[in-house]
Amino acid sequence: MHDALKKEIATYEKRTPKSAAAHKRALERIPLGVASNYRHYEPYPLFVQDGKGSKIHDIDGHEYIDHNLCFGALMAGHCHPAVVKAVEQKLHEGTTFGMPHDMEWELADEICKRYPVEMVRFGSSGTEVTMHACRIARAATGRDKILKFEGAYHGLHDTALVSVKPKDPEYGDPDAPTSVPGGGGIPKASLANVVVAAFNNLPSVERRFRENPGQIAAIILEPILMNVGLCIPQPGFLKGLRDIATKNGALLIFDEVKTGAKLAWGGASEFFGVKPDMICLAKSIGGGMPLAAFGASRPVMDLIAQHKVFHGGTYNTNRAAMAAGLAMFREVLTRENYAHVDKLSKKLTEGYRAIVKKSGLQAYVASAGVNGALMLYPQEIRNYRDWTKIDIDLWRHYWFAMVNRGVLPQPYWWDEQWTISVQHTEADMDKHLAVFDEVAPALAAAQLERGALYVGAAGH
């Protein structure tokens, strides 16, 4: 660990003794002291007191401009008035009945107007809806295998938790990657039904179809790979996948848990002009409430109506989450608000690019919709294996230095990205950029000292 990083971590520890104590207490009863492994990092995570608009406070009383926004679930920002009002009312009228209500077709209709699907079912998390989408694809085709991309994250079910962060050498051939379980407890039978290909590499996808003739039910992907910072599909890649899926009788599933709300008004299919067979939505459609949805054409979704595929869930369409969802689609995810966040995103991205250039940092800035990331590589990454070459300690230096100065630039973890909410302001961007401007020269100096240029950084 280089000295400048040690110094930033020491400052972090000095600033946040209450978080340290809270984490220590939590460790007694909760594995890693957190409720999701993604929330854990060394030396300990920040514990939050509250949030409003674009800001949060930690329990030591420090304020941060928040670009974590619950791992991108809060394009609304904290306590958006429209969401608060809608949810508050439902809290007084009853939250959940396990019986149908009118907000179900209302929200289904909003979704079908915006995304290329004809029917919708709801759930509470991204994991849930990608699981159901994979199952429906299997039922629709009579095939068991799902093709996913190396490094892609689609949640925690057995089909999804494969080759999310596989390591060298177990990940094998770059064009025909080995299916590597993302931890214990994933049955070998599940692994055998997940075929892995390389992102931005159509020949690798074609090869996997050739090797598994008539066996692949669906290709599932994030249209922009967001578990490696931000990896944009190369021109023709999504269209190529569309053609390969159609040619082989497989479904194309867009996991739009992140891109659905945050990339554009109509999500990735509108943005890239490619129509998938199924869409999965979660995170920012719920304004901070647990809300998710999956949709497809009528014939595919009719498998549920014909009792050929089973779908259920006690908390599906609970009224607080559905009211939040309706408020999101009608009052937050509006064309006007997309224009506002696009302006902020441009300002932040261009500001970062100018600072990177001025400081001499070997890095580039990736950006799409309200998401962006400082990518500590001199050239654009194309896939997961490119991403593994990042200098992790340099990224940690960036993150702790920004946090110590009141900007939470993104969730902790170098595979994440920033989110801008509709409640962020020009002044927030100015402060964010001023802090990055202060931090960047130290990062450039550390990078030089560590000799951590792209070629030499592998193996961190």
Ligand X SMILES: Cc1ncc(COP(=O)(O)O)c(C=O)c1O
Q: Which residue ranges make up the site for ligand X (CB under 6 A)?
A: 71, 125-127, 130, 153-155, 222, 255, 257-258, 282
Q: Rounded to the nearest whole angstrom, what is the least distance from the CB of residue 391 to ligand X in the complex?
A: 24
Shortest Cβ distance from residue 125 to ligand X (Å)?
4
Tell me, letter by letter, the H, E, C secondary structure of 118-173: CEEEEECCHHHHHHHHHHHHHHHHCCCEEEEECCCCCCCCCCCCECCCCCCCCCCC
Residue number with CB closer to ligand X (224 or 381): 224
- Between 154 and 385, CB nearer to ligand X: 154
Note if 255 is an active site residue. Answer: yes
Min CB(290)–ligand X separation in Å:
8
Nearest distance, CB of residue 434 and ligand X, angstroms: 30
Nearer to ligand X, 128 or 391 (CB): 128
431 part of the active site = no
> Residue with CB nearest ligand X?
126
Question: 153 vs 272, which CB is nearer to ligand X?
Answer: 153
Catalytic residue among 12, 44, 64, 153: 153
Residue 158 or 255 having the CB closest to ligand X: 255
Which of 58, 66, 158, 255 does the annotation list as catalytic?
255
Residue 130 vs 362, nearer CB to ligand X? 130
Active site residue 283: yes
Write out the catalytic residue numbers: 153, 255, 283
